[in-house]
Structure 1
């Protein structure tokens, strides 16, 4: 994934480079790529050249339309303009912090900023899938993941810095909470993209369909109007939290909001077609794995490396597991029980050992209060998902270690000192410190298993145990 040339020149023919200066006066962006990665292993001149060309095309095809929408002919001119706006935006961030800073504000905006983090989605989306609406849950998962992949790619292409601290204030815990530790670039704000995509898509899903969409009809309903007001409050609070916490400038937020609107409109209009494809196409798993690997291979590789590549591997895993798990769940069609035999609508039969009292367990859980079953179902699901995550990560790491790819290589300090004294250049597979390819494989596999468990395995177990009636959960 990290093989090939450094992509600092990906914009060379499009009006700029990743480490271009902020202005003709020589002001630095603070993110110049002064470190040359010499420890990577070349895969051959021809392969490197082809890969570099494909990465350039991929980066430009995603980012150049954004420049055109802002009436800039090239990515370079767009980036130079945004660089100048970062300095102005930093002053705006400082002004906002001086006006709004308070203990209550720290808690309020800290909470809303958390509402677009990985941990929040890993708590909310499973609950949505298991207890509310399977279709809505999987579609929100996909729109969030797709938006993050696109946003992360644009961040590495545009390379616009976050507001510097100081003068901007940041809470001591902010970097620890942020999924990338604020070590990635700033434009566009993926928090702003998520704020629009998850809330606006949910609102549209619950109130209308693409074929019957009418703003006046939707907002004339009192409940819909109240829901819309909550969506506006949520988006406004989350975006303002990024200014308050010093994570983004206004230009980052404007870009994120605009792209979030475009993504929401596009995905909402095509969600039925997308669902229809991955719920019916043959060889789905192979197609998902191939698409994920190609996507990661084509990701821009700025130097120094940013956390976005690792996060994109995680996101590709979530997309793979979500689509495949949803497909398996829909393919069940129905579940019936004959003694200890479980028969699904697609003709599959699972036989449990005679000593497993399936009928007794089902009768007990089905007799419980629905709210209690929901609580037990949720806690049980989280436990299963966490256990599978640990197992998947351990197994994938062990397998990679057996074939010589160490995700977290052991460092023999004595041997390292001896090598330094001998002035020998030691090169591990792909990188000196950590095998980025191995890390990406582990993340993609682990989160594929996690998403598969959320969309299929846990609901299936719930149906077997009597914690969930299969017919109660929407399928298509």
Structure 2
């Protein structure tokens, strides 16, 4: 019992938003004048979305304070470099809270760390790995990423812990503010991808182990610290995400080969893959209010299903993207200007195809889902928040993107002589 009480006190200590605010101040981040006074007045505001901080914890009231980046109180700012948080058009957040920072370097560094867990990074990193480096490695990384992100998103909506209270925390990002906070899926992704990359590539690729360990450590540290710097997670959220990702890696790493071989070789793999991922997306969530969590999870599952189905079609048609066994272990020493130029050209052409696929499928699936389920689509933002629209739109759109990533684009490369 004494140990449980100590752990509870430690958890409460690590969840304290003042720790986040202290780290932000250490890095030179400042909110508007009157920031501390606004903390007490915030308790009078009404409830906000899932990620909003609980007013009851700070002012004895019911519900949430202003949240979503809106700060009651003064308009004045210190005369440093001023910025506004990136907003999410689906959540009605206006991103009106300005902040200032004394260090542009730290701002851009931690913004880079945050992007390492966002869609822009995934749509560049995974395709580059599959098209230019090692498709064998890329498929397995995506399998691990799908399970890590799926379990992390589900855990958030089971635990339902709010984001750090603002104030005292300065929200440098509000894009995912409608989601719950525990665990940090950015921290999970930023831990799982570099560690999985190290585990899967060492021995298959020739590089010093120390270099791989340093790269994985710096990657993980940057992503985890960036979520505290941005004011989106408490220290406890980040530590929990880090440990949770390691646990999932320990469990799933031994079976990744079995999953990938099943996806490639089993006759009815596409039917099972599509059914399983669709069922996980439909039956996993019972949200109290809408958040971006459900759509993001459907997006991840759809992408994983599309990549797995594309891999199966490649195998059935004899289109082998994996390096020949005689070339193992692989090395970067053969990099030339021609090889580098072809790699960049493949990435440029391939990503354009993926983005066009995404746009086309989005334009087709949202009106179709609205028509099938008889949902008004005059307000697209409202329509996309409905489960009947959100799940098929995200699942089909990103499933098609994943399929294009693994099959359509490699076939295009083969046709134009870029394979």
TM-score normalised according to structure 1 size: 0.63
For 1:305 and 1:278, how far apart are their aligned partners in 2?
A: 33
**2:344 maps to what in 1?**
375
Shift of 1:103: 2.5
The answer to whether 1:322 aligns with 2:307 is yes
Q: Distance in 1 between matches of 2:141 and 2:402?
A: 13
1:403 aligns with 2:372: yes
Give secondary structure in 1 for the equivalent of 2:208.
helix
Find 1:97's aligned residue among 24, 36, 48: 24
- How many angstroms apart in 1 are the aligned matches of 2:268 and 2:115? 37
Once the 2 structures are TM-superposed, how far is the Cα of residue 104 of structure 1 from its aligned partner? 1.8
Secondary structure in 2 matching 1:246: coil
Once the two structures are TM-superposed, the CA of residue 256 in structure 1 deviates from its matched residue by 0.5
Partner of residue 137, structure 1: 138
Aligned partner of 1:185 among 180, 194, 198 = 180
Partner of 2:404: 453
Tell me the equivalent position of 2:389: 438
* Alignment of structure 1 residues 22-421 onto 2, 5 Å: 81=8, 85=12, 88-101=15-28, 102-171=103-172, 174-176=173-175, 181-208=176-203, 223-334=208-319, 369-406=338-375, 409-410=377-378
Separation in structure 1 between the aligned mates of residue 17 and residue 235 of structure 2, nearest angstrom: 8
- Residue 185 of structure 1 deviates from its aligned partner by 0.7
Deviation at 1:83, TM superposition (A): 11
Distance in structure 1 (CA, Å) of the matches to 2:9 and 2:267: 45
Q: Which stretches in structure 1 are left out of the alignment for 5+ residues?
A: 1-70, 210-217, 336-367, 412-430, 469-476
User: Structure 2 CA distance, aligned partners of 1:433 and 1:463?
Assistant: 37
Residues 431-454 of structure 1: CA deviation (Å, up to 9, x unaligned): 998532122101100000000000
Cα distance in structure 2, aligned partners of 1:103 and 1:240: 16
Separation in 1, partners of 2:24, 2:231: 8
Shift of the alpha carbon at 1:91? 1.6
State the match for 1:8 in structure 2: none
- Contact in 2 for aligned 1:278/1:327 (Cα 8 Å): yes
Whose Rg is larger?
Answer: 1
Please say if residues 86 and 161 of structure 1, whose CA atoms lie closer than 8 Å, have aligned partners that are also in contact. no
Is contact 2:270-2:312 (8 Å) kept? no
Residues 143, 256 of structure 2: 8 Å contact kept:
no
Deviation, structure 1 residue 394 = 2.2
Deviation, 1:334, is: 4.9
Task: Summarize deviations over 1:236-264 as a string: whole Å, max 9, x none.
Answer: 12111111111111111111011111122
The answer (yes or no) to whether the contact 1:90–1:164 under 8 Å persists in 2 is yes
Deviations 1:75-124 (A, max 9, x none): xx9xx959972785312111111222232211111111111112211111
Distance 1:435-1:225 versus aligned 2 partners, 3 A rule: same
Q: 2:358 touches 2:398 (CA, 8 Å); kept in 1?
A: yes
Shift of the 318–291 alpha-carbon distance from structure 1 to 2, 3 Å rule, reads: same
Give, in angstroms, the shift of residue 399 of structure 1.
2.9
| Residues 409 and 242 of structure 1: CA distance in aligned 2, closer, same or farther (over 3 Å) | same
List 4+ stretches of structure 1 deviating above 4 A. Answer: 80-84, 431-434
Note if contact 1:82-1:251 (Cα within 8 Å) is conserved in structure 2: no
Partner of 2:61: none
Q: Secondary structure at the match of 2:161?
A: coil
Q: Between Structure 1 and Structure 2, how many residues are aligned?
A: 325
Decide whether the 8 Å contact of 2:357 with 2:400 is kept in 1. yes
Query: Contact conserved, 2:139 with 2:260, CA < 8 A, in 1?
Result: no
- Please provide the CA RMSD for this pair: 2.8
Residue deviations 1:412-445 (CA, integer Å, cap 9, x gap):
xxxxxxxxxxxxxxxxxxx998532122101100
Distance change in 2, residues 1:154/1:381 (3 Å) = same
Unaligned runs of 5+ in 2: 29-102, 321-336
Q: 1:86 to 1:303 in 2, by over 3 A?
A: farther
Q: 1:377·1:462 contact (CA, 8 Å) conserved in 2?
A: yes
CA distance in 2 between counterparts of 1:84 and 1:247 reads 17
Deviations, residues 151-172 of structure 1 (Å, cap 9, x unaligned): 111101101111111111122x
Answer yes or no: is the 8 Å Cα contact 1:82–1:160 preserved in 2. Answer: no
The two structures have a TM-score, normalised by structure 2, of 0.71
Q: 2:174 is paired with a residue of what secondary structure?
A: helix
Q: Name the residue aligned to 1:416.
A: none
Q: Secondary structure at the match of 1:225?
A: helix
1:126-152 per-residue CA deviation (whole Å, 9 max, x = no partner) reads: 111111111111221221121111011
- State whether residues 191 and 238 of structure 1, in contact with CA within 8 Å, keep that contact through their aligned partners in structure 2: yes
SS of 2:171's partner is coil
